[in-house]
């Protein structure tokens, strides 16, 4: 069976990113790790977050660094989930972004998006959809209440 797994290149021992990511997502699966030497730093790992496998590589500085061209999209239901994910991912060096986007401490981009956003922006009532879009474009962390309020104006 074919599968696609994001492969993320880091310039660091993977122990810290593994701990960081698996602490954020409560259903994270135990990582499969490989070390360059028996007591050396973790060289590769596979972790599972919300059912999605991610492969991590401690590849050194040659190609390290993430851009917004690739992001991990997290669909959530509630404002509490948005707030929790946002806080956890921006902690200790992460950066809030615009329209639900943020960067974590490693520079990896994430989108924290409520499921209701698709219905608001995709509404057949284009005036209301545009009002929600305009509100979203002014936000960093998405606010479900404010998006619905803008839509209903």
- Domains within the chain, CATH numbers bracketed: 1-64 (3.10.180.10), 66-153 (3.10.180.10)
The answer to whether 12 touches 58, Cβ cutoff 8 Å, is yes
Q: What does the DSSP 8-state code read for residue 25?
A: S
What local confidence, expressed as pLDDT, does residue 40 receive? 84
**Residue 15 β-bridge partners:** none
Token pair for 64? 């390290």
Q: If DSSP codes are grouped into helix, strand and coil, which group holds residue 109? A: strand
Mean pLDDT of the chain: 94
Q: If pLDDT is split at 50, 70 and 90, which confidence band does 6 have? A: very high
Work out the number of other CB atoms within 10 angstroms of the CB of residue 105. Answer: 15
What local confidence, expressed as pLDDT, does residue 64 receive? 76
- Report pTM: 0.91
Q: What percent of the chain has pLDDT over 90?
A: 80
The answer to whether 79 touches 41, Cβ cutoff 8 Å, is no
Q: Is 130 exposed, middle or buried (0-12, 13-18, 19+ CB in 10 A)?
A: middle
Which of 56, 82, 73 has its CA nearest to residue 140? 82
Distance between CA atoms of residues 111 and 134, nearest Å: 18
Distance between CA atoms of residues 116 and 90, nearest Å: 23
């Amino acid at each position: 069976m074919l599968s696609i797994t994001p492969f993320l290149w880091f310039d660091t021992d993977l122990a810290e990113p593994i701990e960081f990511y698996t602490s954020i997502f409560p259903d994270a699966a135990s990582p499969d790790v490989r070390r360059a030497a028996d007591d050396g730093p973790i060289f590769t790992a596979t972790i599972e977050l919300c059912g999605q496998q991610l492969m991590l590589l401690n590849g050194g500085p040659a190609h390290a660094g993430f851009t917004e061209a690739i992001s991990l999209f997290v669909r959530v239901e509630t404002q509490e989930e948005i707030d929790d994910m946002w806080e956890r991912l921006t902690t200790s060096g992460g950066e809030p972004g615009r329209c639900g986007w943020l960067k974590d401490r490693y520079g990896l981009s994430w989108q924290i998006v409520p499921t209701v956003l698709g219905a608001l922006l995709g509404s057949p009532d284009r005036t209301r959809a545009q009002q929600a879009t305009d509100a979203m474009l002014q936000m960093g962390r998405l606010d479900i209440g404010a998006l619905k309020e803008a839509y209903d104006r």
